[in-house]
A and B are shown apart, each in its own frame.
Chain A
Amino acid sequence: MQDALVRKLESFEELTDADREALRALIPRVRQVRPRTDLIREGDVPDNVHLILSGYACRYKVLPDGQRQIMAIFVPGDFCDLNVFILDQMDHNIGTISACQVVEISRRAIEEITANHPQVTRALMWCALVDEAVLREWLVNIGSRQADQRIAHLFCELLLRLEAVGHVTDNSYAFPFTQTDVADAMGLSDVHVNRTLRELRRLELITLKGRVLTILNVEHLKTYCGFNPNYLHLRNARWSSRRQVPWLSGVQGE
């Protein structure tokens, strides 16, 4: 388990033996979480940092009228809330989409390790910066792209993020999201999501069968939505040299 964490962080930053030793000394708690279950709710005091080992989760808010907005999707290898533990109170919810294997690392453990290991701190900052870059892109997506491009963009992003952690086979990946999940993430109605999926199928850009999404023509789909993967920072030399070895492969039961 700790190895997974070490490999994740090493994909961003060179770690020393002492850094690795300190990370291995952490005793994270691994939880099997059912689908559609909150890991932490708005108003809770954040105690732990959550790392998704398998499955999909999301960050969301619920408006007074019951409308949900999903602000982020987490895939295996993502920290859900790297820095929120510094805050006194959660201002949003984090919940699973599919069944997840989740690692919880205590706030105190993170504080101790970052106080003594600057490289680990830098690696954690990398993770947080990439998360922020993704959030910026989502803002652009929701604010400035048309419905069909928005969804195509999400499909391209998930393809690259999941590919980086070894969860893509033949341009196909698990897609446990409902129509409403996509609608709530993209600021669209279910009806528009439905029509868009039909259109993307008609154009032979994707298929969606048995909760598996296949991108039939990656280049065409990228062109269709003007996808530029720069915000994922996958081209970073430190990252790209290591991303050939999926850091999760050792702990994945799938």
Chain B
Amino acid sequence: MADRDNVETLVVLQPISVDTASSDHAGMLVMANGLLVAILVRLDAPEHARSGTWFMEVGLGRLAGVRAPVFDTLEDATRWVRRRFRGKALGGDRLDAEG
């Protein structure tokens, strides 16, 4: 049982175009252990303070309603998702481990 806490969440990104009612279109589906948990969108519109960064447009499941920071890189975003899942894993539900 204790070993389970050491199992990292497998986070996979898949490119997707997203309608954000703005000129930000480039997005990524974020899958954690095979389940869609978020959609990231790259902030390309000129009005954004930090152009080229990644914003969690939508969170699903345990990421629903979470106000995530804006990420400089996709690696930062992936790390953040893993950490969120690891933190929550100590509670009841285990979505990030087999069995």
Residues on A lying within 8 angstroms of B by beta carbon are 67, 189-191, 194-195, 197-199
B43 and A191 contact, CB distance less than 8 A = yes
Residues of A within 8 A of B21 (CB): 195, 199
User: What would be 5 A-B contacts, judged by CB atoms less than 8 Å apart?
Assistant: A67-B67, A194-B49, A195-B22, A198-B45, A198-B47
Report the Cα distance A199→B23, complex, angstroms: 11
Report the Cα distance A190→B43, complex, angstroms: 12
- B20 part of interface (Cβ distance < 8 Å): yes
Residues of A within 8 A of B22 (CB): 195, 198-199
User: Nearest Cβ distance between residue A170 and chain B, in whole angstroms?
Assistant: 25
Taken residue by residue from 45 to 70, chain B's Cβ proximity to chain A (1 for < 8 Å, 0 otherwise) reads as: 10111000001000000000001001
Residues on B lying within 8 angstroms of A by beta carbon are 20-22, 24, 43, 45, 47-49, 55, 67, 70
Report the Cα distance A189→B22, complex, angstroms: 15
A195 and B45 contact, CB distance less than 8 A = yes
B67 and A189 contact, CB distance less than 8 A = yes
Report the Cα distance A198→B43, complex, angstroms: 14
User: Nearest Cβ distance between residue A116 and chain B, in whole angstroms?
Assistant: 49
Report the Cα distance A191→B20, complex, angstroms: 11
Report the Cα distance A194→B70, complex, angstroms: 13
Rank and list the top 9 A-B pairs by shortest CB-CB distance, nearest first. Answer: A195-B22, A191-B55, A198-B47, A194-B47, A189-B67, A194-B48, A67-B67, A191-B43, A198-B22
User: Nearest Cβ distance between residue B77 and chain A, in whole angstroms?
Assistant: 14
Report the Cα distance A189→B49, complex, angstroms: 13
Known: A195-B21, A195-B22, A199-B21. A189 touches B45 (CB 8 A): no
Report the Cα distance A199→B49, complex, angstroms: 16
